[in-house]
Amino acid sequence: MNRQTRNLMIAIIAFLLVIILAAVLYEKLVDKAVPTVSYAPVLRDLPQNESTVTAKASVDEAPTAGTEEEELPRSEGAMGVTTPVDEESPDVTEEAESDDIMMPNIPFFRLDGTETDFYEVAGGKPVVLNYFASWCPPCQAEMPDFVKAYNAHKDEVTFIFLDSLDGERESLATLKTFIGKQKMDEDSVFYDEGIFAYIFQTTSLPTTVFFYADGAIAGGQLGMVSAQLLDLAIEEITGEASRRNR
């Protein structure tokens, strides 16, 4: 092997080492840049008369499809949101920490039209609630990641896919077509009458909120949720659930 060939091989090896080192440093920087879910939305109080919510929601701006991730507004502490007392629902207010924001026990509807509510569906597990519509492009784009997460974590986390069913752009027919196309579990899909959007003061689709097992809000996201953030949020709420249940 002559000197020129040897020098060329040394240069190639040195170049490869630089590439490997750069890749390692990049991975470390990415790990440090992982987003957190330490923020919480500001909620409206749940009116005693549910028809008031429906009427109010109907005059608010209709939900629109978001394109970028945006944190929900930070809260400075408990917002005085009270959970309606229901004999069949767990008493989440007694065990909650004083600075927690609790999810009001809002009603949902299953695809067959039967009524249920948040705490009945949650079943005492941490919750990932995704507010979406089948016509919303960002909702369509992120749903495969949510379905993948659902299949991986459905035993320890309750997923609530809450559809923005307005009867115009979205109907039960378009919703069921979307469910089939995305290979979603129908038992995890619900719709409401505008109460969620009213309570959370959101006109953004999608909107995702993460809850601990007791119904306390861990954080949320306006717009698309990346697979990385979704995994991180699930790790957060399941880890906190284990800590609280000790």
pLDDT score of 201: 86
Query: How far apart are the C-alpha atoms of 127 and 132, rounded to whole Å?
Result: 16
Q: 237 lies in which domain range?
A: 50-244
Read off the pTM: 0.67
> Higher pLDDT residue, 77 or 19?
19
- The answer to whether position 92 is within a domain reads yes
Which of the pair, 91 or 100, is modelled with greater confidence?
Answer: 100
Which token pair is 179? 């469910």
**Which DSSP state fits 43?**
-
Residue 41: inside a domain = no
Terminal CA-CA length for the chain: 68
Residue pair 150/188 in contact by the 8 Å Cβ criterion: yes
Q: What is d(CA 21, CA 29) in angstroms, rounded to the nearest whole number?
A: 12
Does 4 share its domain with 55? no
**Residue 168 pLDDT exceeds 60:** yes
Query: Is residue 128, in this structure, part of any structural domain at all?
Result: yes
Give the chain's domain count. 2
Do 102 and 219 lie in a common domain? yes
Based on the fold, state whether residues 209 and 150 are members of the same structural domain.
yes
20 and 126 share a domain? no
Taking only the tens place, the pLDDT of each residue in 172-227 is 999 999 999 999 999 999 998 888 998 888 888 999 999 999 999 998 998 899 99
- Domain assignment present for 55: yes
More confident residue, 84 or 51: 51
CATH number of the domain residue 129 falls in: 3.40.30.10
Identity of the highest mean pLDDT range in 59-68, 83-92, 226-235? 226-235
pLDDT at 25: 64
pLDDT recorded at residue 83: 34
Q: Distance between CA 146 and CA 144 in Å, rounded?
A: 5
Distance CA 108, CA 182 (A): 21
Clarify whether residues 29 and 55 are in a common domain. no
pLDDT tier, 4 (very low <50, low <70, confident <90, very high otherwise)? confident
